[in-house]
Amino acid sequence: MDCLIVIGTALETTLAANIVALAIANKKLIVEINPNPCIKCGKVRQLIGDAKEIVPSLCYSIEDKIIEERKTMK
């Protein structure tokens, strides 16, 4: 895992909490998309707001980056 994207969780379930804890222990980048961020330690970048607005924008940005990288590879 290079990066963990966490969307809209309060980490109240064991599975979500364990996955985040594993990423923190392995010093991985965590991108938290949440109107109420709750990850307080580790290498975290918080995108505060509604996932239905942030996720599409993030996906378009990633797609644009991939397209640009492909252009430079030709």
Question: For the whole model, what pTM was predicted?
Answer: 0.84
pLDDT score for 69: 92
Q: Give kind and range of the element (H or E) at residue 29.
A: strand 29-34
Query: What pLDDT, in 10s, does the model give residues 49-64?
Result: 999 999 999 999 999 9
Q: How many CA atoms lie within 13 A of 46 on its CB side?
A: 13
pLDDT score for 11: 94
Six-digit token string for 39 = 């990850």
pLDDT score for 43: 97
Count of beta carbons in the 10 Å neighbourhood of residue 69: 9
At residue 10, what are phi and psi to the nearest 5 degrees?
A: -100, 5
Count of the separate structural domains present in the chain? 1
13: containing domain: 3-73
